[in-house]
Homo-oligomer: A and B are copies of this chain.
Amino acid sequence: MSIDQQIISSLRFVLGEGTHALHEPRFQGSELRYVQECIASTFVSSVGQYVDRFERELAAFTGARRAVAVVNGTAALQVALQLAGVEAGDEVLVPALTFVATANAVHYLRATPHFVDSSPETLGMDPIAMKDWLKHIGERALDGTRNRETGRRIRAMVPMHTFGHPTDIDGLLALAQDYQVQLVEDAAESLGSFYHGCHTGTFGLLGTLSFNGNKTVTTGGGGAILTNDERLADHAKHLTTTARKTHRWEYIHDEVGYNFRMPNLNAAMGCAQLEQLQDFLSSKRRLTEKYLQAFEDLPQVRLMTEPAGCQSNYWLQTLLLNEAIADQRDAILEATNDAGLMTRPAWMLMHQLPAYQQCPRAPLTVAESLAKRIINLPSSAGLA
């Protein structure tokens, strides 16, 4: 049997017949009731109890001191980076293997993404490769670290917890401190993922979440900024609500803000989703067990499991093809999708996108190898 047929057979063993989406949301809780209450209150928009509640519950679940709900994960990251001090002309270290939003958020601030390599163990920013690279490219300066080739300040690094697997945060935090670079976590994919017992997105100065429709928990569209710094949280709230000063009627905006608040309607759905998060996580973990079993006799592929000391949310189940069958990737994608089993490859690497081809970058050997070999499998909660 060809490898694509073997993979389909393994998927069918776990998923049974029928078609299966890559990641479908699941609404079996109080979504409709909360949305109904929200509509009945007429507070569907910029203010409302569900936004406050969603923020409180996100903070409680993640252990962050504060959470600020916003319109999506991209907006969250843009504002988090701005609050971390990223300015026009700076560089920001970003994994080449990520969704385009990570690089775009940097670009919106008129800063330049600087792409770095991934670890084959976590799929995220590799602190060992980064250490070598910073030794090579980083020049200590009064205001932190500069890229000795471009002369630009390297202001921040943005590790992303790929498909929900926590990256090696300790190693990155040490480098960030050593080089005086801010660490902002893109935890868009990792709600429910823990690194050494603490939730992803709570290690850096700020972290960000996403509640897009394909995420573990969805608000239709949405995101959040996490931080343990009250002052930064207040500023995040201010910036994302047009920077309007509190006044009974005057419309005074004391800086250039954004219309980035999450509508109460979407937060109502989010509150209901959060109540089911533990169930979603358990189900996704069970699915991993089943996939492990299904693929154990297939030596050409390896299912990604959580890194040591970590708890992954298993947002997207990930199959890594051996180098020897990497050239079969598209055939496997074709066959599985034809069979109604939705799979997808990793994103095109950031340095290969037209808009970012000219950006500075480290050697990207691992990311380039991974991008050829990653296949995400149907991963919805409720499949197991």
Which chain A residues have a beta carbon within 8 Å of chain B's beta carbons?
A: 24-27, 31-32, 35-36, 39-40, 42-46, 71-75, 99-101, 104, 107-108, 110, 212-214, 218-221, 242, 244, 248-259, 261-266, 269, 333, 337, 343-348, 353-355
List chain B residues, Cβ under 8 A from A25: 42, 44-45
Name the residue of chain B whose CB is nearest to the CB of A353.
B253
Task: Say whether B337 contacts A213, CB under 8 Å.
Answer: no
Task: Say whether B36 contacts A32, CB under 8 Å.
Answer: yes
- From residue A223, how far is it (CB to closest CB) to chain B in Å? 9
Name the residue of chain B whose CB is nearest to the CB of A356.
B256
Task: Say whether B337 contacts A249, CB under 8 Å.
Answer: yes
Task: Say whether A348 contacts B250, CB under 8 Å.
Answer: yes
Task: Say whether B42 contacts A27, CB under 8 Å.
Answer: yes
- Number of copies of this kind of chain in the complex: 2
Contact A100 to B253, CB < 8 A, known contacts A42-B25, A110-B110:
yes
Task: Say whether A32 contacts B39, CB under 8 Å.
Answer: yes
Task: Say whether B213 contacts A251, CB under 8 Å.
Answer: no
Task: Say whether A44 contacts B218, CB under 8 Å.
Answer: yes
- From residue A174, how far is it (CB to closest CB) to chain B in Å? 32
One of B101, B220, B251, B254 near A44 (C-beta < 8 A): B220
Contact A348 to B251, CB < 8 A, known contacts A72-B71, A259-B75:
yes
Contact A72 to B256, CB < 8 A, known contacts A249-B343, A265-B220, A269-B44:
no
Task: Say whether B265 contacts A45, CB under 8 Å.
Answer: no
Task: Say whether B214 contacts A45, CB under 8 Å.
Answer: yes
Query: In whole angstroms, what is the CA distance A91 to B203 when docked?
Result: 41
List chain B residues, Cβ under 8 A from A259: 72-75, 101, 104, 221
- From residue A86, how far is it (CB to closest CB) to chain B in Å? 15
List chain B residues, Cβ under 8 A from A220: 44-45, 263-266
Task: Say whether B251 contacts A100, CB under 8 Å.
Answer: yes
List chain B residues, Cβ under 8 A from A355: 253, 255-256
List chain B residues, Cβ under 8 A from A73: 259
Task: Say whether B221 contacts A100, CB under 8 Å.
Answer: no
One of B26, B45, B110, B261 near A218 (C-beta < 8 A): B45
Query: In whole angstroms, what is the CA distance A110 to B337 when docked?
Result: 43
List chain B residues, Cβ under 8 A from A39: 27, 31-32, 35, 269
